[in-house]
Amino acid sequence: MMDMTVILTFKCSGGLELLCDSVKIHNVSIDPENGVGKLIMKDLLSWVRTNLIKERPEMFMKGDTVRPGVLVLVNDCDWELSGQLDTTLEEKDVVVFISTLHGG
């Protein structure tokens, strides 16, 4: 199967945008690299860590997934309902990352 570029929207809020030069909304084109021709959340997280996070990636990710306290929505649906790292992403999907952790 031939890999196809997936164009989607990636949004950060709750302070996570500070890790991406204070830009909250990113329209990105990503080529699946997992050899199966589809983009999954694990691929997106790896791409974001490499291409968008400008500083302190440990504030966004822990290992191959997001840190505890980061809410992930795919098309307004909690990613825990759609397979988390194995969630398949398609053209025009909207992925939102919201930090629920705040200092005081």
- In the numeric block, which tokens belong to residue 22? 């204070």
- In the numeric block, which tokens belong to residue 74? 């795919």
At 95 the pLDDT is 96
At 38 the pLDDT is 85
At 102 the pLDDT is 66
Q: What is the pTM of this model?
A: 0.87
At 34 the pLDDT is 61
Q: Which of 16, 7, 27, 29 is CA-nearest to residue 71?
A: 16
With a CB cutoff of 8 Å and minimum separation 6, the contacts of 35 are none
Residue appearing with tokens 């909690």: 78
At 1 the pLDDT is 43
Q: Collect the ranges in the chain with pLDDT lower than 50.
A: 1
Phi–psi pair at 44, nearest 5 degrees: -60, -45
